[in-house]
Amino acid sequence: MENTLIIGLEVHVQLLTQTKLFCGCLNRFNPDEPNTQTCPVCLGLPGALPVMNRKAVELATKAGLALHCEISSFTKWDRKQYYYPDLPKAYQLSQYDLPICHDGYLDVTFTENDEEKSTRVGIIRAHLEEDAGKNSHDESGRGGDSRIDLNRCGTPLLEIVTEPEIRSAAEAKAFLEDMRLLMTYLGVSDCNMQEGSLRCDANVNWHIPQPDGHIAATPITEIKNLNTFRGVEAAILYEAHRQLDEFERTGRKLGDPGVMKETWGWDADRGQTYLQRGKEDASDYRYFPDPDLVPVTITDEQTQAVQESLGELPAERRQRYETTCELSPYDAGVIIDQGPDFANYFDAVLDRCGNGKQAANWCTQDVQRELNDRQISIREFPITSGTLGTLLKRVVDGKITTGSAREIFGVLIEEESSDDTGQRVDELIAERGLEVVNDESALVGVIDKLIAENPKIAEDVRGGKQQAVGPLIGRAMKELKGADPKVVRSMLIERIQQG
């Protein structure tokens, strides 16, 4: 038997509500003005009473249904007691024994060791809770100052807890990437990891078979507050190696005296984990129902209404792109991974032009290149989906060449027109004489003239140097902008050979 790596994730998703979970303070990332988005409720002042945010419950329900969870018809709020400087009340409002969502799963596809794998990761629970503030510590070595910003205190979080059935760092990273994609498509969260809207704790240990048939489990480590995909993967890889090395040296395992679950941090600069403290058990938090908040009841009708609002989820959309639109898995993945706004733009282009491969090629190459160069989002892109769709429709119908389409694309980019009818596309085709020339007599006339003016090139082509015809193709295209270069090349060679 081989050693088995056991990984469970606790994913914290900050919900896209206007206000905080239990007060009217603005729920917005604001590092430049610390402690300005606060009130007596989120500061924990005596006598302040919380009021539940209905939108947060709706978003939690939406996320739970997309994760195939059961939605609790009855849940309540609990006080999780602990002291920390960024928690002014000395307790956190959370859900303990009755989470709003439970018993779900997320299907994940990932690549490991050049092999594509698929797995189903179980979701134990997804519960609502309020966030704490943020501590900033002086790590320069020149002082011991720490600062606290309570702007984030009280913002709504959905904590999603997986079964401990993830078996590799690559799988953990893929799970988190797919979770982020799902939450952004649902509009549940922006999942901006740089701003802390998506964070992850990873619980890691090994199950190691012993000669006597028993399984030795290394001490479970909870790695806190991982906020990048690479960080999650790197931290798990490092911690897995560290635990194996320690077990080989000491033999310490769960069940030994004094061995408990521990909380570790991740130092991204040094690329290593470090011990922070022993991990508390649930009993240490002294949970009890909050006396100031009534329980939450969710009817079947409310759950059904949220279910109907989910729309097409990323996995379903990816499958449609690969089957109905005949896109490669790579192209479908690129479009999906850019987010719902980009995928919606692609769908609108596809609807207008009717050709999935054309729409995918232009969106993933030409459009994406412009977005990257200009550092803008697809919502700010100057060419509307209707205009691009019309342009590609003219290519699909054979009215203009791909080269001519790129010329028009460049003009439209500079004009930054908001036209969505496609009328400007047809105007540019006419103004620039870009419509494909199907009049063979016009082609023959220009080609014969060029052959007569360039006898040396004609002689080289007859001598077997067909690449010599290149300059004549370029000159023909200048005179006949709408000509197909492949047709021009073929006719040039044919008439030179005949001559």
Per-residue pLDDT reduced to its tens digit, 283-293: 788 999 999 99
Q: Which of the four pLDDT bands, split at 50, 70 and 90, describes residue 480?
A: low
User: Could you say which architecture CATH assigns to the domain 440-498?
Assistant: Orthogonal Bundle (1.10)
Name the helix (H) or strand (E) containing 349: helix 340-353
CA pair distance 115, 133, nearest whole angstrom: 42
Q: Which residues contact 352 (CB under 8 A, 6 or more apart)?
A: 385, 386, 388, 389, 390, 392, 393, 422
Span(s) in the chain for CATH 1.10.10: 440-498
pLDDT at 496 over 80: no
Q: One-letter amino acid identity for 444?
A: V
pLDDT at 65 over 60: yes
Quick one: DSSP state of residue 142?
A: S
Lookup: tokens for 65: 């249904």
Tell me the pLDDT tens digit for each residue of 285-335: 899 999 999 999 999 999 999 999 998 999 999 999 999 999 999 999 999
Q: Which of the four pLDDT bands, split at 50, 70 and 90, describes residue 98?
A: very high
Greater model confidence, 494 or 189: 189
Cα angle 383, 386, 392; round to 5: 85
pLDDT at 37 over 70: yes
Q: One-letter amino acid identity for 121?
A: V
Contact 51, 224 (CB under 8 A): no
- For residue 156, what pLDDT is reported? 97
Mean pLDDT value across the chain: 90
Hey, is 48 helix, strand or coil? coil
